[in-house]
Amino acid sequence: MPSLFLLVPVLVLALFSVLLYRRLVRAPRYRPRWLHLGAAGLLLGLGIAVFVGFAYQNASLDSAVARLVGVIGMTWLATAFYLLIGILLGTLVALGLRLARRSDLVTRWHRRSVPVIVTLSLVITGYGLIEARQLRVTEQAVTIPGLAAAFDGYRVAVVSDLHVGPTRGADLSAGVVELTNGADPDVVLVVGDLTDGTTDQFGEALAPLDGFDAPDGVFAVTGNHEYYAGDAAGWVERWRDIGITPLLNEASTIHRGGATLRLAGVSDTTGSAEEFDADDPGLRADLAGALADVTGNEPTILLAHQPGVGTDPAVAAAGIDLMVSGHTHGGQIWPFTLLVGLANPTTAGLDTIEGTTAYTTRGAGTWGPPVRFLVPPEISLLTLTRDA
């Protein structure tokens, strides 16, 4: 069975490489033999780099060289995606020429369009590498009905989706802490997907998060990627080591000036899947348990990695005032920004899900390609305000 799982992506990548070769080299009828051999060799090497990247993430390879090759492979995935878009558009034009009985122009079209497609794909990827490192704080006011005067103006930092490890390390964690502390939050809410890998591999990459400075603390829930490496329990313990309080289907209360603000956190649904079924029940999603102490008589913020949790009727029934999530990356790479909404009730920013106010952050990092295009990373700062 493991060999079958490996065979499928190998075949997909091989077929994709053949498609690129045929459309970018064969279709324009380039004659130099060195160009054909060079393109074939480059596509083969980049395909191998992709698998090295996944092997490094899964701890099958562990060296600085493997990490560098893996980063190149992951970056290539973004370039290949835009090459595919260009090829599809170019094929449509070529088809139009044939339908117009101008087949004599097809080869000329390919020769002129291929350099443009390749150049634009490389430029977009290069820009995306830069944009992915332009982390910023975005601010949003959120009105909470019945919010006590003591919490009017309360500042909530929402941090998510660092995905440190395979392509970014402690530098990203340190940058997140610096920007978050500079925003002067009252509490920090971390909504999952902090890493890709195991604690043995990347545990130290989160060490800078020990520097979060918020008077009411730092709270976190698991995301789907905490489970993929089979080390969710280890990551939760690592969070505790660096001063982050996990909310494993449970709630906590913040007191200020005689008033209270409730925080409820639900573990990600991935922990309930058969292949990731965790020994600790707290690592399996239990929304009812997370909401057990929520009475609806006090303002409550629900932490849930995936915004889809908001579609559960239990959320609206509990009278949740605000749900904060991550997971979507805002799409990360355009035009996935248009597609991510098909799998999630909201993509990014402030929205309403089944009557519940929800905020979804684009996240601070990247997954797969270390690239963002027209979807900048963010740390979200929510300022709670009283209803008029």
pLDDT at position 104: 85
* pLDDT tens-place string over residues 70-121: 999 999 999 999 999 999 999 999 999 998 888 888 889 989 999 999 999 9
Confidence of residue 388 (pLDDT cuts 50, 70, 90): low
Across the range 231-248, mean pLDDT stands at: 95
Across the range 47-51, mean pLDDT stands at: 91
* pLDDT tens-place string over residues 175-209: 999 999 999 999 999 999 999 999 999 999 999 99
Q: Evaluate the omega torsion of the peptide bond into residue 9 and state whether it is cis, within 30 degrees of 0.
A: no
Report how far Cα 122 is from the mean position of its chain's Cα atoms.
22
pLDDT at position 277: 58
* pLDDT tens-place string over residues 306-329: 999 999 999 999 999 999 999 999
CA distance 376 to 373: 7
- Other Cβ atoms within 10 Å of 275 Cβ, number: 8
Paired tokens of 201: 């591999």
pLDDT at position 28: 86
Contact predicate 381/155, CB 8 Å: yes
**Measured CA distances, 336 to 38, 79, 225 (Å):** 31, 14, 19
What backbone phi and psi angles, to 5 degrees, belong to 54? -70, -35
* pLDDT tens-place string over residues 52-70: 998 888 877 888 899 999 9
Q: Which residues contact 378 (CB under 8 A, 6 or more apart)?
A: 135, 136, 137, 138, 361, 362, 363, 364
CA distance 212 to 205: 15
CA distance 309 to 306: 6
pLDDT at position 301: 97
Q: In this model, does residue 30 exceed pLDDT 80?
A: yes
pLDDT at position 203: 93
pLDDT at position 281: 76
pLDDT at position 31: 85
First vs last C-alpha separation in the chain: 60
Cα-based angle 296, 341, 319 (whole degrees, multiple of 5): 5
Confidence of residue 2 (pLDDT cuts 50, 70, 90): very low
Cα-based angle 306, 308, 169 (whole degrees, multiple of 5): 15
